[in-house]
């Protein structure tokens, strides 16, 4: 995967056992750990598409935590 100007990098702390499971999945699919994580994020976004609707976001904006 090529990095583009708009790509963002973030760090994620996970338990060793989770890392080992992700690594195992990556090995079984002949890919790398980053690809497995990206695919998991894509699946989560697809499964929660209704939460990304602009109208839903507008109505529930007060629930957001500002950092």
Over residues 37-52, mean pLDDT: 94
Read off the pLDDT of residues 8-20 as tens digits, 9 standing for 90 and up: 888 999 999 999 9
- Report whether pLDDT(46) > 70: yes
pLDDT for 2: 66
Neighbours of 36 (CB within 10 A): 19
- The whole-model pTM stands at 0.73
- Which residue, chain included where needed, has tokens 């976001």? 57
Residue linked to tokens 């994020």: 41
């Amino acid at each position: 995967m090529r990095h583009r100007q708009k790509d963002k990098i973030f760090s994620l702390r996970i338990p060793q056992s989770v890392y080992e499971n992700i690594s195992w999945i990556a090995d079984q699919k002949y890919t790398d750990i980053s690809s497995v994580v990206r695919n998991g994020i894509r699946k989560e976004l697809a499964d929660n598409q209704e939460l990304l609707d602009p109208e839903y976001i507008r109505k529930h904006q007060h629930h957001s935590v500002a950092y």
